[in-house]
Amino acid sequence: MSTFSMVLKYPFKSKPHMICAITILSTATFINLMIPRYTEFIINNLITPNFNFTFNTLIGNIISMIILAILVFTLTGVARYFLSIANGRSLYYLRKDIYGSINKQSFSYFDKNETGQLISRATSDVEQTTRMFGFGFSNLIRTTILLGGLLIAVNLLDMRLAWIFWLVIPITFFYSFILARKIRPYLIRSRQSFGEITNIIHENIIGADVVKIFNNQDSELKKFDINNRDFLIESKKAINIRALLLASNIMIVGVLTILTIYFGGLLVISGSMRLGKLIAFQSYTLMVSFPLNFIGNILVIYIQAEASLTRVKEVIESVPDIKENINPISIEKLEGNVIFDNVSFGYTSNKLILKDINFHIPPSTTVAIIGTSGSGKSTFINLLPRFYDVNEGQIIIDGINVKDYNLGDLRIRIGIVSQETFLFNRSIHENITLGREGQVSMEEVIEAAKIAQIHDFIMSLPNQYETLVGERGIRLSGGQKQRVTIARALIIKPDILILDDVTSSVDVETEFNLQKSLESLIRDRTTFIITQRLSTIRNADLIIILDNGRIIGSGPHETLLRENSFYQQIYSTLYSKRKNIQNKEIPKKDDLEVSEN
């Protein structure tokens, strides 16, 4: 779909309003073009004595012209009302489409596109189209109808002067188009620079603490200033060409007026044309000055909007990498029988993160996944709910390839607590019930919060569950945010649970209580745990060891500790770290269990 198609598509989503506006504008234009003919009639009868043309006839014609002018004014106002509704809805649908497109994109899309650039496209670029869908499109309709009507009117009035209009109007279009096209690259570059400015501001707000810790304000300011200066330079170039375009169109209107008076004057002098007709032609010349002056304006507005619409269109037309089958299989409940069959995966095709992964997990099994940093542990959990599709092999749940399941059903049956917590700037209740609003009772919310060991803290707050957590949960500590996300994962009652180092941000006592609370839940469902906690590793039914994207060992704790040298090394390292913590803290029951073993 071209950008011009978008300009036409969105207003016509309000088809009744557009049809009414075009019909009313056409009627108003037809009436408006009648007024110069009244002028012609009056002038001719005033110059040439006519006993039938009396004072009353003059007043009657003038009153008729006034009535027609009022009617044109009223109809134009009504048409603009309908156009404003259509244009307002155009922006509504455009915002809806770009947000919907961003919302449905796969994870890989966000890996490739900077957040600031996407924010710029969804906000600033959409806002840049406001003038096109408002002022630009309304005047495009009016200009098109008026120019069409004028060309018909001058042909009907006298072909001997009509050629001037047929000559000047195409030249104006061509000249305006050439200059408007010259503006395009400057506008596109200015929008790109603005996107970079937005991205820098976004990064510096999100990472304000990092910038200040490393005293990098001057460097970031310099980077911002470079992009800000680029934006200014490209904008100034566009403004200069636009000024030339508008001045040229005013000059062309002047040329049209001079040509009409000159050639029309010759015809009047020769006696082959009456003065009234020349004055009518001059009235049409004044009328045509409006659309001719606006041709350049409309083209510039369109080119400005095109630069933004091109960026918006790229987002809207982006196709998600993860696609459902035509007839996906719905899920009511998963048993949790998971098979990785010769799975290989990489975020890019030339660099695999996971290689030849094979295992079978029976239902209600607790699996601990361990390995060194960068071994592929977190990548593994992104594949089960189809955040990414595997490069090779297949993932099978309950005997069915995950690609054959309904994507929404699959993801709602898999509860995930990520190491990187994210909370929305909403109440604690809204964050816990995310995706399940209105579907769970308050009792279920409280139960999930109690299991996550966060209920008592919530009840100590003035607004309790209605407390706003702030942007990205800034009003909560890391451990508190972690526990809210655990409650959020539990509220959906998942059939498969994935916990990515969920106790890393809590103290030892909270960890102990949290593990006890989770035991009953873990027992009833297939659970994958990425952890460095010794007690969690030991208590797992199965331990999978990853190194450099490959499984180098799997089995229960006792077997691996006896037979796998890599596991022995990892366990020894974690045990040493645990002992160091024990020396600094009051021993807890879990600590004592570790020491005894």
CA atoms of 99 and 122, how far apart (whole Å): 7
Question: Which parts of 214-354 fold into alpha helices (H)?
Answer: 217-269, 275-316
| pLDDT at res. 591 | 41
Other Cβ atoms closer than 10 A to 73? 12
Q: What is the pLDDT of residues 500-559, one digit of tens each?
A: 776 655 566 666 666 666 676 677 788 888 877 766 777 788 888 888 888 888 888 888
Full 3-state SS string of 140-201: HHHHHHHHHHHHHHHHHHCHHHHHHHHHHHHHHHHHHHHHHHHHHHHHHHHHHHHHHHHHHH
Beta-strand pair 338-345/392-397 = antiparallel
For residue 9, what are its two tokens? Answer: 């598509």
| pLDDT at res. 191 | 72
CA atoms of 183 and 195, how far apart (whole Å): 19
| pLDDT at res. 74 | 92
CA atoms of 478 and 442, how far apart (whole Å): 24
| pLDDT at res. 593 | 37
| Tens digit of pLDDT at every position of the chain (597 positions) | 567 777 777 788 888 888 888 888 888 888 888 888 888 888 878 777 666 777 788 888 889 889 999 998 999 889 888 888 888 888 888 888 888 888 788 777 777 777 777 777 777 777 777 777 766 777 777 788 888 888 888 888 888 888 888 888 888 888 777 877 787 788 777 877 877 787 788 777 767 766 776 677 777 788 888 888 888 888 888 788 777 877 777 788 888 888 888 888 888 888 888 888 888 888 888 888 778 777 777 777 777 777 777 778 888 878 878 888 888 888 888 888 888 888 888 887 778 888 888 888 888 888 888 877 777 777 877 888 888 888 888 889 888 898 888 888 888 888 877 777 778 888 888 888 887 777 778 888 888 888 877 888 888 888 888 888 877 777 777 777 877 888 888 787 888 888 877 665 556 666 666 666 667 667 778 888 887 776 677 778 888 888 888 888 888 888 888 888 887 877 777 666 655 555 554 444 344 333 333
CA atoms of 434 and 573, how far apart (whole Å): 38
Instruction: State the first-to-last Cα distance of the chain, in angstroms, to the nearest integer.
Output: 67
| pLDDT at res. 50 | 66
The closest alpha carbon to 368, from 578, 183, 242, 545, belongs to 545
CA atoms of 373 and 295, how far apart (whole Å): 62
φ/ψ (deg, to 5) at 484: -65, -40
The closest alpha carbon to 448, from 391, 440, 387, belongs to 440
Query: Which CATH superfamily hosts domain 1-157?
Result: ABC transporter type 1, transmembrane domain (1.20.1560.10)
The closest alpha carbon to 510, from 478, 466, 465, belongs to 478
Largest CA distance in the chain: 126
- Residue 93 contacts residue 25 (beta carbons within 8 Å): no
| pLDDT at res. 71 | 92
Task: Kindly calculate the radius of gyration of the chain based on its CA atoms and give it in whole angstroms.
Answer: 36
For residue 209, what are its two tokens? Answer: 């603490």
For residue 6, what are its two tokens? Answer: 């978008």
Domain chopping of the chain, boundaries: 1-157, 338-423+492-583
The closest alpha carbon to 86, from 21, 142, 181, belongs to 21
Amino acid letter at 344?
A: S
CA atoms of 181 and 212, how far apart (whole Å): 44
| Torsion angle of the four alpha carbons 313, 317, 318, 319, in this order, in degrees rounded to the nearest 10 | 180
The closest alpha carbon to 540, from 505, 513, 512, 515, belongs to 515
Distances (CA, A) of 5 to 11, 179, 306, 310: 11, 22, 11, 11
| pLDDT at res. 521 | 66
Q: Does domain 338-423+492-583 have CATH number 3.30.1330.60?
A: no
The closest alpha carbon to 504, from 582, 592, 585, 418, belongs to 418
CA atoms of 465 and 110, how far apart (whole Å): 32
The DSSP element (H or E) to which 366 belongs, if any, is: strand 366-371
| pLDDT at res. 505 | 56
Average pLDDT, the chain: 79
Q: What is the pLDDT of residues 186-234, one digit of tens each?
A: 877 787 787 778 778 877 776 776 677 667 777 778 888 888 888 888 8
CA atoms of 221 and 210, how far apart (whole Å): 14
Considering Cα of 188, then 114, then 383, then 316, what sign does the dihedral take? negative
542-547: strand order across its sheet: 414-417, 496-500, 526-530, 366-371, 542-547, 550-555
Q: How is the chain split among helix, strand and coil, in percent rounded to 5? A: 70, 10, 20
For residue 11, what are its two tokens? Answer: 């207003």
| pLDDT at res. 236 | 84
